[in-house]
Amino acid sequence: MTDEQPLRKRVRDVRTRLFGALFGDRIGLTLFLGVVVVLSLYWRVGFYIADTYAIANTVINVADGHLDIQRIEYSLTLGSQPGLYRSGSQVIGRNYAAAVLSIPFYWLLEGVSALVELRIALAAGWSLLAAALASQLGGLLDRPRVTLVGTLLALGAFLANVALATPLASRWTGLLALQLLTLVAAGVVAVALYRLLSTLHGRRVGVATGILSALALPIAFWATVPKRHVFSAALIAVVLLAFARSRRPESSALLRASAYAAVGVLAWLHAAEALVVFVVLVPVDLATAPRNDRRTLIVVATVFALSVVPFVLTNLAVTGSPFETPRMLPSLGDAAQLGPDGRISIETATPTPPDPTTTPTPSPTDATPPGPDSSDGGPLGALPGVVQALVGTLAAAPARLSRLWEFVGEGASIVLGDPERLGHVFFRSGRVPGIDYSINQQEAIELTVLESAPILGVLVAAPLLWGRRVLAATRESLRAVPTAIRTNPRYQTDLLAGGIVVMFTLLYLPRLPLYSQITMRYLVPAMPVALYGVARIPAVRQSLDEHFQEFLRAYAVASVTGVVGVVAAFSWIEPALGEAMQFHALLNLAVAGLTIAVVVVAIVRDHEKGVATAVGTAGGAGTTLFVLSGIEYFTYGQFAYPIVRWLSELLPVF
Amino acid sequence: MGPFRPPDLGPIETSQLLLVGIVLVTLVLSSPLVHGVTLTEAGPPTTVGDGNATVSNVDVDTDSVHVSPGRFGTAVSYVRMPDATVDVTQVDGAPRLVYRFEIPALEIDHDATKVLSSRGATTVRLGDVAVLPERLAVDRYDARVTVRVQSYTVDRVVYNESVTVEVRE
């Protein structure tokens, strides 16, 4: 016996702990695989929204080893490049967090495409993941047949993909890497929600919420459209999970600090979103933490400080100031020239001074307006020293915070004073006044929160619940409320979740409704948090726990009959694109209404009969929309997997 | 190292090994390092190239073309476009069909293309086009429908009809 065995044991321990930290348990891993395998089915290699060009080009340039954009690999036009910024004579990209974290995927894909056909490699990856999913699922259910059938299906899919394969150019690796990162983020959302709810209410509630979070919310829609929203959603879900798990006295300071670390990464992705989460997290965390001794706080502060290092370094390199983000720079507009080899440069002979009084005009197809904090960007002369910049930033910090509050305040005034506008954001779209539909050929494809996530309608029942609690309250029970909040991690997490949903919504309300949101995508990062709220309603969680099978059955049946039924209905109705989307909108509103009714009756009668089925059905209605919009409604790029292209051509809708 | 002994494989292990084996072999075959095998040409062409096609019959239900109000709260009007069914008798290379619908008075010029890969009847679908109701000034519009066979080497009109589009309430 040498010391080989302790080493092996240690390796195993590290592996177990790493697995635990990433997935929680085997169910978490299965959920992750399931979400990635399912959502990647409608992966399309192409640009759905124009400023994805900018982010994909950022990936390529970061991989080349510099933060500024020198080479344009993906170009919409030979003229202006939407979504880019300028800093002096440099062209600057956006979403550096996503770009940098995509780099491992980029290298992987570059290596793979050098050795084998990219299209075949993608098909191979999918089938291997699908077989791994089948193996995990078969093991969990203790049904070997599931593993066998799943593996054979994966094999069949691979052979069919190879039979139908067409070449996929290796120049797509930058975009593919970004899409892979977003896909993984969608999986993280599901795992985080699963772990969060299984910590609070047991595994069944966890699994149900995990499935719904990634497949029944617009996370599914954006999972392979590499906008920032799914990544934001994943980070915010991690904040919530780390917060909830760190409320127990025995939990480590590092766990608590990881909530802050997620905020640090979020700042790198989108500073305003991070700031909003941060201002909610700090007071709730300090007020509800099991202990606030100096050591714990030092750990938390250190981890947070480390987590903002990439953010600060990127800003320093790009804007010269640690807290001035690339989005605060003036838009590139038409200032750049694109060479025939894809080299991009700014004419330095006639430097156009950036004009801080005009907000950058997005090009017609540029869907993402600059972040809420973009208009206070200023011209930058020579790079000031770090210290000088820090002093300047600290002086500017109150101004920035007050601007944030302006947005939030404006959002609050919309909530209080403009119910019609609020209705167009949350309830019914149709053709919304104020949205520029000409960008999308006058098609009414912009859905509201409830129309794209009918499951979230159940939250309407929450005030009823509170009302009953208040009516039933006695003086003693009211007096127990502060103690309950101080001691119960569930109430504490409710507080954080509620704060995040409210603040996030208020931040974006002044910009909504807006074109090219499709599923109110600005609010997508808060949707899994809102789903947490749905799962916390006692009637819902009890029903999901006791009638888990009914939930699963209802979800599966609703998804399948939804997809088949809508396709059948559409071959008869022959809708235009806008009509198809509005058909889903009305269908989802109807399902949401029924689900709310079932939940309300359950709350009033103190009997959760039918709630699990209703929740599953509402989830299935959402999934129906995302499957069909993923495969059929929107035409752009090429499907990553040939069999899905074949299926899409087979469907007789568009 | 003892002598090689085949492990007892159940159906699951066999299927998994089969999958991994086939995937690996296919990947190796797809590698540019292995000459002479191209797997990704197997599928039908998706982009237009050189070539030509002969067409025996083009069928567009021009009577069904009309403008009608959008449903489900879309609050626009739609020009309802019919499908074009084309009987293809011969295909060389990767030509495509271009099905085009023009209504000059409404500034509508809409087309759909389909790359041809095989003989037989094929359908080209054209999505409905949204028009703001306030732009509709008269009850009827003149339109032109064309179908072309197109490639880098040919561009031939195989169907050309003028159509009257009726505005329905």
The partner residues of B87 in beta bridges, in order of sequence, read B57, B121
Same domain, B21 and B75: no
Residue B81 in domain:
yes
pLDDT tens-place string over residues B125-153: 888 999 999 999 999 999 999 999 999 98
Residue B2 in domain:
no
**% chain A with pLDDT above 70:** 91
Residue B33 in domain:
yes
Is the minimum CB–CB distance between A651 and chain B shorter than 8 Å? no
pTM of the model: 0.91
pLDDT tens-place string over residues A547-566: 999 999 999 999 999 999 99
Residue B141 in domain:
yes
Same domain, B91 and B162: yes
Cα distances from A390 to residues A321, A393, A397, A411, in angstroms, run 7, 5, 10, 30
Average pLDDT rounded to a whole number, residues A274-289: 94
Question: Which segment, A171-175, A319-323, B165-169, is predicted with the most confidence on average?
Answer: A171-175
Same domain, B23 and B57: no
Residue B150 in domain:
yes
Q: Give yes or no for residue A390 having a pLDDT over 80.
A: no
Cα separation, A411 vs A504, in Å, equals 10
User: What pLDDT, on a 0 to 100 scale, did the predictor assign at position A376?
Assistant: 34
User: What pLDDT, on a 0 to 100 scale, did the predictor assign at position A145?
Assistant: 95
Tokens of A99: 């770009």
Residue B25 in domain:
yes
pLDDT tens-place string over residues A295-312: 999 999 999 999 999 999
Average pLDDT rounded to a whole number, residues A206-213: 98
Nearest C-alpha of chain A: how many angstroms from B94?
13
Check A124 against B28: CB less than 8 A apart.
Answer: no
User: What pLDDT, on a 0 to 100 scale, did the predictor assign at position A585?
Assistant: 97
Check A116 against B80: CB less than 8 A apart.
Answer: no
Cα distances from A75 to residues A70, A277, A362, B162, in angstroms, run 13, 34, 16, 38
Contacts 24+ apart (CB under 8 A), A496-499: A496/A239, A496/A240, A496/A243, A496/A280, A496/A281, A496/A284, A496/A285, A497/A240, A497/A529, A497/A530, A497/A532, A497/A533, A497/A536, A498/A533, A499/A280, A499/A284
Which residues of chain B neighbour A135 with C-beta distances below 8 Å? 12, 16
Same domain, B36 and B69: no
Residue B38 in domain:
yes
Residue of chain B nearest A111, judged by CA positions = B31
How many residues are there in chain B?
A: 169
Same domain, B64 and B36: no
Tokens of A541: 């969680």
Are A116 and A108 in contact, with CB atoms under 8 Å apart? no
Is the minimum CB–CB distance between A126 and chain B shorter than 8 Å? no
Is the minimum CB–CB distance between A232 and chain B shorter than 8 Å? no
Same domain, B97 and B129: yes
Same domain, B91 and B32: no
What is the DSSP-derived secondary structure letter of residue B64? G
Same domain, B36 and B62: no
Average pLDDT rounded to a whole number, residues A109-134: 95
Same domain, B80 and B155: yes
pLDDT tens-place string over residues A575-605: 999 999 999 999 999 999 999 999 999 988 8
Cα separation, B40 vs A163, in Å, equals 8
Residues sharing a CB contact under 8 Å with residue A309, sequence separation 6 or more, in sequence order: none
Same domain, B115 and B136: yes
Check B70 against A121: CB less than 8 A apart.
Answer: no
Nearest C-alpha of chain A: how many angstroms from B105?
17
Same domain, B27 and B105: no
Same domain, B57 and B36: no
Check B130 against A154: CB less than 8 A apart.
Answer: no
pLDDT tens-place string over residues B80-110: 999 999 999 999 888 999 999 999 999 999 9
> What is the residue range of B14's domain?
8-42
User: What pLDDT, on a 0 to 100 scale, did the predictor assign at position A595?
Assistant: 96
CATH number at residue B89: 2.60.40.10
Residue of chain B nearest A645, judged by CA positions = B46
Nearest C-alpha of chain A: how many angstroms from B69?
11
User: What pLDDT, on a 0 to 100 scale, did the predictor assign at position B37?
Assistant: 74
Count of domains forming chain B: 2
Nearest C-alpha of chain B: how many angstroms from A175?
20
Residue B1 in domain:
no
Q: What is the ipTM of this complex?
A: 0.89
